[in-house]
Amino acid sequence: MASISDRHALRPSFFSFITVFGINTGALIGGTLVVENIFRVPGLGTAIVEAIIRDDFPVVLAIVMIATSVFVLVNIIVDIAYSFLDPRVKR
């Protein structure tokens, strides 16, 4: 059972955690491109580099749209989490 001090301390601290999580998601998505190419792991990063080299514009566009959609979806989830943590954010 959480004590009163835990309840009052943890709730405000989640705001900064959720904010950093949402911001770092973009860096994590971008970092996959570098990591996949360094370690030769097949994935979206390797696919986009190969598509750029082959001048395959539709594949590049599709991968960029997937990465962008994931980033936007994570930020929408972060905004919804804000409203659950603090009802004043809804206004």
Per residue in 28-79, pLDDT tens?
888 888 898 889 889 988 899 999 999 999 999 999 999 999 999 999 999 8
Cα separation of 15 and 82, whole Å?
Answer: 7
Angle at 44 between CA 68 and CA 22, to 5 degrees: 40
Instruction: Say what the pTM is.
Output: 0.78
**Residue 21: helix, strand or coil by DSSP?**
helix
d(CA 1, CA 50): 53
Q: Are 64 and 70 spatial neighbours (Cβ–Cβ below 8 Å)?
A: no
What is the SS3 assignment for 27?
A: helix
